Amino acid sequence: MTDVTIIILSYNTKELLLNCIKSVFETIKELSFEVVVVDNNSHDGSPKAVLKAFPDVRVIENSENLGFAKANNIVLRETKSPYALLLNSDTILTQGAVKAICDFMEEKDDAGICAGQLLNEDGTKQNSFAYFPGIFTLLFNESLINTISPFRKNKHSITHTEVKVDSCIGACILMKMEAVRKAGFFDESFFFFFEETDLALTMNKNGWFSYIVPRAKIYHLGGQSVGHSIKSRLLFSQSRRIYYKKHFPLLSCVYMPLIMVRLTADLLINLTVWTLTLFFATGKKNKAMLYYELLIWHMKGCPAVQ
């Protein structure tokens, strides 16, 4: 039995994927591991490239894009390893990072999910953790809440000491399989976004917690943005709605009105700024159009996006 099953989702990121796998074999020395690439119907030759460059890597080729939860669950449900490491294809591990996280989880009985410190390509810190969404995050921008709240840490406040957090950013997370099984694996009603937050909250309710191990460094080339395309924002909104309906059923009756008020306010603010700049601020115009599309989608009853 291996110590860690490493799961890497693949979707049209061939070169990034190959570099990610290379970093796995170059940096993990003191643990036994297996690498499984789950390809969500890429069209760039990713599966063949992986098998050619790394014949020891197992590749699962899906006939369609199953999203994050379903694709990961394929491997999670069958693995016999005590730990599973979920890696984005746009991550690069550094020497000893996975061992450091594993060592911490071995010592911390209540650790269900752990992550290291995510870094930008230039070595600056990315945010590696997230807070559980609540009613205030429906009304206000997350960055604003983080700025004004005296109780919230920022990405620079975690330096050397391991710290408990609500949830870890899913670019590189190590999960204790005992905790994953008791939590019921990833909820497959989520296609993309909120999966790891949902699982972390479920684990939290069962006495398993999330931690950041800052001495473990991982480069994350994809950054922290949820994306600015309308599809990515619709997927985010779809998953957010599922999350709130699942964990905050009492908010169901006010969820849509709150979201509609916020989107309308964001739309009007960006349109106003665009107008006041004599229509030169095209970024505000683009944001206004994005909020308009999101508003229309909600008014249509949030039809499925995939």
Say whether pLDDT at 186 is over 90: yes
Q: What is the pLDDT of residues 19-40, one digit of tens each?
A: 999 999 999 999 999 999 999 9
Residue 276 makes CB contacts below 8 A (sequence gap 6+) with none
pLDDT-derived band at 224, boundaries 50, 70, 90: very low
Q: pLDDT by residue (tens digit) across 270-286?
A: 999 999 988 888 999 99
The conformational region for residue 222 under phi > 0 = left, psi -120 to 50 = alpha, else beta, is alpha
Compute the average pLDDT of residues 59-87.
96
For the chain, how big is the Rg over CA atoms in Å?
20
pTM for the full predicted model: 0.90
- Return the number of other C-beta atoms located less than 10 Å from residue 252's C-beta: 11
The Cα angle at residue 140 between residues 253 and 69, in degrees rounded to 5: 70
Q: What is the pLDDT of residue 100?
A: 97
Residue pair 4/33 in contact (Cβ under 8 Å)? The answer is: yes
Burial degree of 301 (CB within 10 A; 0-12, 13-18, 19+): exposed
Supply 249's token pair: 């059923």
Distances (CA, A) of 209 to 11, 159, 179, 201: 30, 19, 9, 8
Whole-number pLDDT of residue 185: 97
Please report which confidence band the pLDDT of residue 306 belongs to, taking 50, 70 and 90 as the band edges: confident
